[in-house]
């Protein structure tokens, strides 16, 4: 099968439209149609049902869509392996990182990585876990550094660090200096949490629900910095990974109190496609990651 046709097929399947796929690929719509027709002729089956302006994958199309990311990943892995075997080591690291880790954990890791590989070219993708999962499966990124996700049959996921969750409260709060606080300590108070697509939010919510302490008064915010500023002025309390709020605690603008509950911790990990050989920059990043966070 022609790889260019497979890329066009994947774009049409992802976009659900020939015209949108054409814009994404910077091709004309007739060119996209020709690629799909040629692929259907080669395989001997229709890949899309065309209902006016709407299209949807056929059963055969859905089956092919499951295999295309793996095919593209193997092609990319072969390219990397051949270049390295020929002495032309790849200098590019395509890294996906969750927002919390990109903001509070990643910068010193990238500094140390650049010391090891001064000529490295970094392509960084910051997003939520759902987007990074698709990026890994589609081979848009080679490696993801995120808060631990559920096991996936096509991914290898290696834990590197766990840290405690803490209550984040104003420094003048009556409970600001408690040695620890139970999940229900702030019942009746407004709880500020990240949006539902955040891995950190899922960990916090699971822990609170398990303890029977998930409140009804929850305000969602997309940005942890906004949550911290809101807590500083007394507009609610929050729960966050300690590394994300330790600087404010040291400055005295927030107080941190350990959460007294089973599972009150959050785990970071890195993930890559199972069986795929990592490039030299990716292997170096993993070494820096494990050396720094497993200390």
* The pLDDT of residue 39: 93
pLDDT, block means (10 residues), the chain with 295 residues: 87 89 84 91 92 85 90 79 59 89 90 86 88 85 86 87 94 95 92 89 92 92 93 96 94 96 91 85 89 74
* The pLDDT of residue 45: 94
Q: In three state form, how does the secondary structure of 41-75 look? A: HHHCCCCEEEECCEEEECHHHHHHHHHHHHHHHHH
* The pLDDT of residue 88: 45
Report the distance separating Cα 11 and Cα 18, nearest Å.
8
The tens digit of pLDDT for each residue in 65-110 reads 999 988 888 887 777 677 666 554 467 889 999 988 999 889 988 8
> How many CA atoms lie within 13 Å of 275's alpha carbon, on the beta-carbon side?
9
* The pLDDT of residue 52: 72
Provide the 8-state DSSP code for 149. -
Task: Measure CA of the first residue to CA of the last residue in the chain; give whole Å.
Answer: 47
Helix axes 3-15, 59-85, angle to 10 degrees: 130
Report the distance separating Cα 42 and Cα 285, nearest Å.
41
* The pLDDT of residue 78: 78
Q: Which of 124, 123, 120 is nearest to 112 (CA)?
A: 120
Judge residue 252's burial from the number of C-beta atoms within 10 Å of its C-beta, 0-12 exposed, 13-18 middle, 19 or more buried.
exposed
* The pLDDT of residue 15: 87
Domains of the chain, earliest start first:
3-69 (1.10.10.10), 82-160+268-293 (3.40.190.10), 163-266 (3.40.190.10)
> How many CA atoms lie within 13 Å of 203's alpha carbon, on the beta-carbon side?
26
* The pLDDT of residue 85: 61
3-state class (DSSP) for residue 112? helix
Report the distance separating Cα 120 and Cα 282, nearest Å.
10
Report the distance separating Cα 77 and Cα 31, nearest Å.
28
* The pLDDT of residue 206: 92
**Is residue 194 within 8 Å of residue 221, measured between CB atoms?**
yes
91 Cβ partners below 8 Å, 6+ apart? 117, 119, 120, 121, 281
Provide the 8-state DSSP code for 244. G
Provide the 8-state DSSP code for 259. B
Q: At 269, which helix (H) or strand (E)?
A: strand 265-273
3-state class (DSSP) for residue 231? helix
Judge residue 65's burial from the number of C-beta atoms within 10 Å of its C-beta, 0-12 exposed, 13-18 middle, 19 or more buried.
middle
């Amino acid at each position: 099968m022609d790889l260019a046709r497979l890329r066009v097929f994947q774009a049409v399947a992802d976009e659900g439209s020939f015209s949108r796929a054409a814009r994404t690929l910077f091709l004309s719509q007739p060119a996209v149609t020709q690629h799909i027709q040629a692929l259907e002729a080669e395989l001997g089956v229709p890949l899309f049902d065309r209902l006016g302006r709407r299209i949807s994958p056929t059963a055969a199309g859905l089956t092919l869509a499951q295999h295309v990311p793996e095919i593209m990943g193997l092609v990319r892995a072969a390219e990397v392996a051949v270049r390295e075997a020929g002495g032309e080591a790849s200098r590019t690291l395509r890294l996906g990182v969750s927002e919390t880790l990109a903001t509070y954990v990643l910068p010193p890791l990238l500094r140390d990585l650049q010391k090891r590989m001064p000529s490295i070219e970094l392509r960084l993708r910051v997003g939520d876990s759902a987007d990074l999962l698709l990026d890994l499966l589609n081979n848009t990124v080679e490696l993801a550094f995120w808060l631990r996700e559920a096991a996936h049959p096509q991914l290898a996921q290696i834990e590197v660090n766990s840290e405690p969750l803490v209550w984040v409260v104003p420094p003048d709060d009556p409970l600001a200096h408690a040695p620890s606080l139970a999940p229900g300590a702030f019942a009746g108070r407004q709880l500020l949490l990240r949006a539902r697509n955040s891995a950190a939010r899922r960990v916090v919510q699971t822990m609170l629900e398990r303890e029977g302490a998930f409140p009804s008064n929850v305000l969602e915010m997309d940005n942890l910095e906004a949550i911290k500023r809101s807590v500083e002025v007394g507009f609610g309390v929050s729960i966050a990974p300690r590394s994300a709020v330790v600087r404010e605690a040291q400055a005295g603008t927030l107080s941190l109190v350990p959460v007294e509950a089973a599972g009150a911790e959050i785990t970071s990990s890195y993930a890559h496609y199972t069986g795929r050989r990592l490039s030299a920059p990716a292997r170096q990043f993993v070494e820096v990651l494990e050396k720094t966070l497993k200390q």
